Amino acid sequence: MALGRACTHQFPLNHNPRARFDFPPQSWEECRKRGWRSYDVLLVTGDAYVDHPSFGVAIIARALEADGLKVAILAQPRHDRLDDFRQFPAPRLFCGITGGNLDSIVANYSAGGKVRDKDAYSPDGNPWRGERDRKNRRRPDRACLVYSHLARAVFPTTLLVLGGIEASLRRFVHYDYQQAILRASILCDAKADLLVYGMGERATREIASRLREHLPLTGVVGTCERLTEAEKERRAEAADGLLALASFAAITARPRLFLETELTIDRLARQDDRRVLLQNQGSHWLLQNPAAAPLSTREFDAIYALPYTRRAHPAAGDIPAARMIADSVTIVRGCAGGCSFCAITRHQGAVIQSRSRVAIVAECAKIAGRADFNGTISDLGGPTANLYASRCAIRGCRRRDCLYPQVCKNLETDEDEFLQLLRDVSAISGVRHVFISSGLRMELLRKTPRLLRQILDKHCPGVLKIAPEHSSERVLRLMHKEKHEELRQLLDLCRKIGRDLGKPAWLSPYVLSAHPGATEEDARILARDMKKLGLTVAAFQDFTPTPGTIATAMYVTGLDRDSGQAIPVARGAAERMRQRKMLEALLPKKGR
């Protein structure tokens, strides 16, 4: 069995939109106004549509348009009736379904399981269409699952493709913290045809290309397939290499296997292991094809050069998330850190992908040329902003864990390139401020003192955002985070730079309470250590056992990720709240 045909298409560098319309159509009426009698792809999303490259559905829509396809958007459809789906005829190629920029359970519920009363991805931040009722929620729980069932009812013969972060992180057996149960793959539960995992530009374009050429969809890199037992046997016989993971039945019977399986998935992804993965889900099998290759710089640049309006669709109204990122620019993808509680590496990969300085400056110049630009580029960032322009000196290794337990000697950072980027963007006419608002890794800041000085002097939006997460060495090991000494040394360096600049250097530490392995005593240690350093914590986060993280597997099993031994886990709301209250009482949320 072929492990996946690489995408043979290059992302276009110069895109000339065929139509005079700013946005992809949001209804069949809008399609008809364009003279469409049919169309190729329907993209369904749990977010209001924002035509900005910080939104995955916008990237996919614009990339498919650039390939000459007619793409329509169905944003936040009613999930208690079929009317919104029925307005459209069946798409010619496929229906793509995403829960949005967030997992729907994370969007709908707090870490403690309480229903959220705000949704930054919905009109006016309101998660409800009317009165507070599950049927009136704009985004349903497990949105990919619900939308798939609705789409199948209306388009019974149309190919259904799941994508986005919800599908990506729920592709294997996973934990659902709102239901407090292990669930089977969302692809099998949804009875969809394919699932695109990771950053899906390559896989989605390849799916569309094969459908146009009437080619089979087996082996598309970056996708998962749903197979019957017979189909699985045929594929296994022809496979060049495959690995069977513990089944859903085995994991639910022996939860310890959940941690072992999550560690295996993480390790193989970091190693870029090209074997096919199989996991039995009961009546069906999940087959994961190898991951799509990271984008080249040229391809990365081309995606962000597509003709986004950078605005919410007029029918959506005011979308808080759109306002927040309107003048932000993505410069980097992927994360080589692999923190236990974070899903970025599982979704975006461990390979760092950076855009070219020329392309970033061009995007910033376009933003600065808008009539409504306020003079501030709010963020040059990504998952970890100061991984920009970094690379592996040996072009990758089997470990790909570049920041833990210390910075790998083979991780090269290009301090001069980042400094030049800041200078070039700052020199654009109309730009008064350029900020880095994304998170920054402390150990990398210490290795790039000139960049740190420049950020503190001119590119810090009030405070420098860092994420020590904790100070207990035992908890930090479980988190897969750098030692507390890194924070002390960075603080000393920032205060020295502040004295040299003649102004204070404010640091805003982000901490996490109730992480698996953390106790009330650890919360006391954290509060004590922050006070000792003279830091005030401005942001708290209770650990949330989201799908697709090693920390969630530790939470479910109560086992240490390294030793497999039992660890304390704060499960109940009362126990978790005690840790949080301890921090809140000792460390005021506001102030510096």
| Structure tokens given for 39 | 């169309």
* Interval 158-203: pLDDT, tens: 999 999 999 999 999 999 999 999 999 999 999 999 999 999 999 9
Check residue 385 and report its DSSP letter. G
Residue 572: pLDDT band (50, 70, 90) is confident
Cα-based torsion angle of the residue sequence 169, 170, 171, 174 in order, rounded to the nearest 10 degrees: 110
Whether 15 shows a pLDDT value over 70: the answer reads no
Polymer length of the chain: 592
Lowest mean pLDDT, pick from 17-21, 213-217, 266-270: 17-21
**Residue 351 to residue 358: CA distance in whole angstroms:** 21
Residue 236 in 3-state DSSP? helix
| Structure tokens given for 519 | 């106790």
Whether 5 shows a pLDDT value over 90: the answer reads no
**Residue 443 to residue 424: CA distance in whole angstroms:** 26
8 Å CB contact between 255 and 546: no
As a whole-number percent, the residues of the chain with pLDDT over 70 amount to 95
The greatest distance separating any two alpha carbons of the chain, rounded to the nearest whole angstrom, comes to 72
* Interval 52-93: pLDDT, tens: 999 999 999 999 999 999 999 999 999 999 999 999 999 999
Q: Pairing mode, if any, of strands 376-377 and 433-434?
A: parallel
Backbone angles phi, psi at 570, to 5 degrees: -80, 105
Residue 501 CB partners (closer than 8 Å, separation 6+): 453, 456, 457
Whether 14 shows a pLDDT value over 60: the answer reads no
Please give the pLDDT value at position 7.
46
**Going from the N-terminus, what domains does the chain have, and what CATH number goes with each?**
28-221 (3.40.50.2300), 327-437 (3.30.750), 462-592 (3.30.750.200)
E strand or H helix that includes residue 353: strand 353-354
Instruction: Tell me the average pLDDT across 424-438.
Output: 97
**Residue 380 to residue 354: CA distance in whole angstroms:** 12
Q: Can you say how many angstroms the Cα of residue 43 is from the centroid of all Cα atoms in its chain?
A: 18
Residue 98 CB partners (closer than 8 Å, separation 6+): 43, 44, 45, 46, 56, 57, 143, 144, 162, 163, 164, 166, 167
Residue 586: pLDDT band (50, 70, 90) is low
Question: Environment class of residue 230 by beta-carbon count within 10 Å: exposed (0-12), middle (13-18) or buried (19+)?
Answer: exposed
Better pLDDT: 18 or 232? 232
User: How many secondary structure helices (H) and strands (E) does the chain include?
Assistant: 23, 22
Distance (Å) of CA 233 to CA 172, 227, 281, 285, 430: 19, 9, 15, 10, 62
8 Å CB contact between 328 and 461: no
| Structure tokens given for 258 | 């959940």
Q: Which of 12, 156, 32, 11 is nearest to 82 (CA)?
A: 156
Residue 55 CB partners (closer than 8 Å, separation 6+): 47, 49, 101
Instruction: Tell me the average pLDDT across 348-366.
Output: 97
On the question of a cis peptide bond just before residue 405, with omega within 30 degrees of 0, the verdict is: yes
Residue 223: pLDDT band (50, 70, 90) is very high
Whether 590 shows a pLDDT value over 90: the answer reads no
**Residue 160 to residue 145: CA distance in whole angstroms:** 11
Lowest mean pLDDT, pick from 128-137, 183-192, 362-371, 513-522: 128-137
Alpha helices in 369-448 (DSSP H): 415-426, 442-447
Please give the pLDDT value at position 21.
64
**Residue 508 to residue 294: CA distance in whole angstroms:** 32
Q: Kindly report the CA angle at 137 between 134 and 142, in degrees rounded to 5? A: 80
Whether 444 shows a pLDDT value over 60: the answer reads yes
* Interval 379-402: pLDDT, tens: 999 999 999 999 999 887 877 889
Q: 480-501: b or e for each residue (b if 16 or more CB lie within 10 Å)?
A: bbbbbebbbebbebbeebbeee
Please give the pLDDT value at position 276.
95
Q: Which residue has the tokens 């916008």?
A: 58
Ordered DSSP codes for 508-564: EEEEEES-TT--HHHHHHHHHHHHHTT----EEEE----TT-HHHHHHHHTB-TTT-
Please give the pLDDT value at position 575.
87
**Bridge partner list, 98:** 45, 163
* Interval 537-548: pLDDT, tens: 766 789 999 999
Residue 59 in 3-state DSSP? helix
8 Å CB contact between 138 and 145: no
Whether 591 shows a pLDDT value over 90: the answer reads no
Please give the pLDDT value at position 396.
75
Instruction: Tell me the average pLDDT across 430-458.
Output: 96
Return the HEC string of 61-109. HHHHHHCCCCEEEEECCCCCCCHHHHCCCCCCCEEEEECCCCCHHHHHE
**Residue 548 to residue 169: CA distance in whole angstroms:** 5
* Interval 271-323: pLDDT, tens: 999 999 999 999 999 999 999 999 999 999 999 999 999 999 998 999 999 99
Distance (Å) of CA 303 to CA 64, 264, 366, 374, 430: 11, 32, 15, 25, 25
Q: Kindly report the CA angle at 325 between 178 and 479, in degrees rounded to 5? A: 45
Whether 111 shows a pLDDT value over 70: the answer reads yes
End-to-end CA distance of the chain: give it in Å, rounded: 59
Q: Which residue has the tokens 């949105």?
A: 143
**Residue 128 to residue 134: CA distance in whole angstroms:** 9
